[in-house]
Structure 1
Amino acid sequence: MRSPAIFFLFLGLIALGEPVSVTPILSIPQVPRYFEWVLGAIENAEEEILIMLSDCRRYVRPSKVNTLLDALAEAAGRGVQVKVLLERRDEIPPEEEAAFAYLEKNGIEVRWDDPESTLHAKLLVFDRTEVVLGSTPWTYNGLFESVQVDFAVRSPTAAQTFRRFFGFLWEGRYRVEPRLGEAEAPALIPLPEFPEGEALHLEVAARLLEEARKEIDLCLYMLRRYPWDSPVNRLTDALISAAARGVRVRVLLEGGESWMEPDFASDAREVATYLLLHGVEARFDPPGSTLHAKFLVVDGEDLLVSSANWAYYSLIKNVEAGVALLGTPALGSILADFFEALWAQARPLP
């Protein structure tokens, strides 16, 4: 089976012939592994830390979230070059303003992203050798009250790819065009997503779904289907087509919490009902914690982990960061077991 690999215009071919270490960082409210991993990575950094976040906050009251920002300040104090790029909202929460001001005060280069684009990535690059990416923002809810999935990827080549991705955005260059080629599994495929580019996440996810033979497990904070001819509908179509050809397809979604807008829950129910009516198993996570993870497991060996929801703005308009892994059954087993545990606790639709 031949699967997509990425050629990145202006960066050249991403070839991963070197040994690559990938560590899944699976967080639940009782076990905040991402917080612990990232804190250790910051404390051990020697030369450079690059950070791109959709949300980063500093709280007035004592909070463990502040520990990450304190660690960045300490890293800068010992000579590590630290750069932080943050999403600029129309109305910036005071805790986010406080984080920006704290970083700037402590000698860290910090910038807001282009206000015309939405930065939704959660990306960290350490010492040009390790990348941490996935679904976790630097907020209290994100770090300590949510289900999250991130990967720590140790690979100089992957780090170089995402470092250049960071560099383009740091310089305000948002119009970089990617293109897709082919590669043999096992492979690691970086997914650095520019706004209104070639929709790398959409293309890779669709191909994985379309080539599934036995099983698809999909966990998302948000999945949407649109009444118009949206390119994103290709994904729900692919899920339904897979179920129709005998693939077991399970979709686990955030069903909405009390603090969310009512439309979130109704939209989630609408797409889940649509999938159920077309032969796809669908459930919602239990209330009380936020299912914020975004990951896909196909046939137990092909994986996608990302910051991107499966919705129009996420896949077409946003800055996102993810990675696909092909032909990796050992990692697939870890994510599949995590999905199984979440699925067992989830709520079937009435």
Structure 2
Amino acid sequence: MLDSPAIDLPPPAPVAAATLHYGGVDQPPQALRDLLLARVEAAAPGSEITWATYYFRDPALADALIAARQRGVKVRLVLEGRARRGSVNGPTIERLKAGLGSDLRLHRSWLPGQHLHAKIYTFSGGPEPAAFIGSYNPSGGVDDPKLLRDIGDQDRGENLLVDFRDPDAVEALEAQAMRLWEGRFAFRFGKRANKAKRVGDFAFYYYPRLRTDVVERRLARLGPGDEVKAAVSHMDKGPFASQLVKAAERGARVELVVHDTRRRVSKGVVSELRDAGVEIRRYCDPDGYPMHAKFVIVDHKQVRTAWFGSLNYNFGSRVMNQEILARSADPGLVDAFDVRFDRLAEEAATRSCTGGKHVADAAMKAALP
């Protein structure tokens, strides 16, 4: 019997190390919520879902998690129990308590101002493990105009999630979500625990940590010919802004897109950066949708790196909060961040913040009863 002739099959398509997903005015409403919802609905019995997040108000997503538990998925969820706007999570907490029981846990720090601000969404134990981190809070379902104005429409505003499919990356992120769920925080101040968790082209940094200047150390190396692009929703006059000023003064090109409200990024820090030669624009949306993304791209000696996650560049995130920050040198992912930044910068350049009041704030006030 003759052997069958060999068949030349095309090589399998390479699987991206990580994929950038984003929400915004150019995307369908609830694009990021629907991404998570689809993963929850696809979770098979015997698999596990472990989430840690700050705001959670989406009833459909809550119901999907409860339904997953009922069909045999192990669902663990930890939420901030004392958010800055404490009423945000209230309705969802009651819903989830009834459906998840003790698998829902609330972070309530004894230290004033210390919050669970990380956003980690992991799916493991099934044929396609996945983990998502970024800036997105599933806070849809807000029907209070004052509350919506305060926290921003997370389903329509500029947000991002990075999707990891590498099993080692999923395992690392699930382990961190589990530590948050279990309430193990003191370990963060051990020297060993402050080492970055490295997986391939990625490194994960968990806050609080002994050394908070993860991005700042890279900025301190920059000079002529180097470049920084960053979308920053929250920033104060701290080490991050200071290193951006110094980098610009040394000859690096620095471009920023920041949130339009003065509470999140003050007029003083914007003026200081502009005086140093930083190209900084406020993102103003006429419908009040926030620029909530948090990512930094650094091109240093032709080596391009991106940082992203839940970390805000202010005192609370840097010193107090439970946060996650990731670093990547994956060319495809860095390029995706670059493309998204250019779009944000172009939008910001075509919209004006006038008279000390941003257009979005005026629009939201007009909608109030």
TM-score normalised by length of structure 2: 0.76
**Alpha-carbon shift at residue 93 of structure 1 (Å):** 4.3
Secondary structure of 1:74's aligned partner:
helix
| Alpha-carbon distance in structure 2 between the residues aligned to 1:52 and 1:218 | 25
**Greater CA deviation, 134-143 or 311-320?**
134-143
1:283 to 281, 284, 304: 281
Deviations 1:246-293 (A, max 9, x none): 22101111011xxxxxx516x522111100001111110013210011
| Alpha-carbon distance in structure 2 between the residues aligned to 1:217 and 1:110 | 38
Whether 1:333 aligns to 2:335 is: yes
Higher strand share: 1
| Alpha-carbon distance in structure 1 between the residues aligned to 2:202 and 2:74 | 28
Partner of 1:223: 235
**Alpha-carbon shift at residue 169 of structure 1 (Å):** 2.4
Secondary structure of 1:151's aligned partner:
strand
What letter matches 2:33 in structure 1?
F
- CA 1:112 to 1:335, structure 2 compared with 1: closer, same or farther past 3 Å? same
Whether 1:50 aligns to 2:50 is: yes
2:116 to 96, 114, 119: 119
Highest CA radius of gyration, 1 or 2?
Answer: 2
Partner of 2:294: 294
RMSD (Å), alpha carbons: 2.5
Flag structure 2 segments of 5+ consecutive residues without an equivalent: 1-14, 141-151, 355-369
Partner of 1:4: none
| Alpha-carbon distance in structure 2 between the residues aligned to 1:161 and 1:37 | 21
Flag structure 1 segments of 5+ consecutive residues without an equivalent: 1-18, 58-64, 226-232, 257-262
Relative contact order, higher structure (CA 8 A, sep 6+): 1
| Alpha-carbon distance in structure 2 between the residues aligned to 1:90 and 1:161 | 26
Identity fraction in percent: 23
Secondary structure of 1:315's aligned partner:
helix
- CA 1:273 to 1:211, structure 2 compared with 1: closer, same or farther past 3 Å? same
1:240 to 222, 236, 245: 245
| Alpha-carbon distance in structure 2 between the residues aligned to 1:34 and 1:79 | 25
| Alpha-carbon distance in structure 1 between the residues aligned to 2:297 and 2:196 | 22
**Greater CA deviation, 75-84 or 267-276?**
267-276
Partner of 1:11: none
| Alpha-carbon distance in structure 2 between the residues aligned to 1:88 and 1:182 | 27
TM-score normalised by length of structure 1: 0.80
1:304 to 303, 307, 329: 307
Secondary structure of 2:162's aligned partner:
strand
**Alpha-carbon shift at residue 349 of structure 1 (Å):** 7.7
Partner of 1:188: 202
Secondary structure of 1:333's aligned partner:
helix
Partner of 1:28: 24
Partner of 2:263: 264
The ranges of structure 1 where at least 4 consecutive aligned residues each deviate by more than 4 angstroms after the TM superposition are 90-95, 347-350
Q: How does 1:103-142 map to 2 (within 5 A)?
A: 103-107=96-100, 109-116=103-110, 117-127=114-124, 129-140=129-140, 141-142=152-153
